[in-house]
Amino acid sequence: MAFITVNYVSNALFRTVPVNVILPADKYSADTREYVNNQPYKTLYLLHGLLGNYTDWVNGTRIQRYAEERNLAVVMPSGDNSFYVNGVTHNNDYGTFIGEELVEMTRRMFPLSDKREDTYIAGLSMGGFGALRNGLKYADTFGCIAALSGALHILDEDAVEIAGESAIFGNLEEARRSDKNPRVLLEDLAREGKQIPRIYMACGLQDSLLHASRRYRDIILAAGADLTYVEEDGAHEWDFWDRHIKKVIEWLPLDQP
């Protein structure tokens, strides 16, 4: 297993961006004394939460071990506090960065599969919102989505701003009706009869975002999506996310050819 930090100039963000990549490139067979070539690799794009960065998942969980056990490539970018949507100011197109540019760039850099059924997106809290929004926005790219303790309330009419959301989304009422809202994307995909990615959601029973997760559970089911939904003891904390990112990896269709 290789652990690589990449820095490249992003066109969507107009700056140099850091990305951590877990790559099962050095999987070794003791029997043949050769490196096993299992290319191209199935890939999980993994998003951090508010106040975090591209190092969070490696520092907070055992994602490297879990990925190695399943021969899975994992790409972990920095999304700042953007909620992973295109901002209202120039050079802050985080939705385009995640859903288009990052996928294209990492596929050019590494031997990653370009198949939808081999490409997944997940995240926690703010990253859970970003995973659901971009997984649905780019449903032709991502076959599976996982949102852990997702901040899915952020565009609710009664939501209280905690990170200057209006500076990110612009007019919040307009954003609620736009494709920045996962609910709008779900309804559009269902109405148009397009394939909705498989979805995994989990939230702790002691998490303040539990109500938002339950509400989105009902919205997703109403859209006819394939949803795995889990509630269990846990708060908004790394112990819960470590436990569930392992479950997400077990849930992904990694054994299918």
CA distance 94 to 97: 5
> Binning pLDDT at 50, 70 and 90, where does residue 30 land?
low
pLDDT at position 33 over 80: no
pLDDT at 161: 66
Please report where in the chains the tokens 């299992």 appear, as a residue: 38
pLDDT at position 36 over 70: no
Binning the chain into helix, strand and coil, the percentages to the nearest 5 are 35, 25, 40
Residue in 122, 90, 87, 119 with CA at minimum distance from that of residue 103: 119
Q: Are residues 79 and 48 in contact, defined by beta-carbon separation less than 8 angstroms?
A: yes
Quick one: tokens of 178?
A: 């736009």
Quick one: tokens of 5?
A: 């930090």
> Binning pLDDT at 50, 70 and 90, where does residue 246 land?
very high
pLDDT at 34: 55
> Using one digit for the tens of pLDDT, what is the confidence trace for 64-122?
999 999 999 999 999 999 999 999 999 999 999 999 999 999 999 999 999 999 999 99
User: Helix 182-191 to helix 210-222 angle, to the nearest 10 degrees?
Assistant: 10
Report all structural domains of the chain as residue ranges with CATH numbers, in order of start. 2-251 (3.40.50.1820)
> Using one digit for the tens of pLDDT, what is the confidence trace for 153-205?
999 877 666 667 888 998 889 999 999 999 999 999 999 999 999 999 999 99
pTM: 0.95
Rounded mean pLDDT, 128-152: 98
Rounded mean pLDDT, 126-135: 98
pLDDT at 156: 86
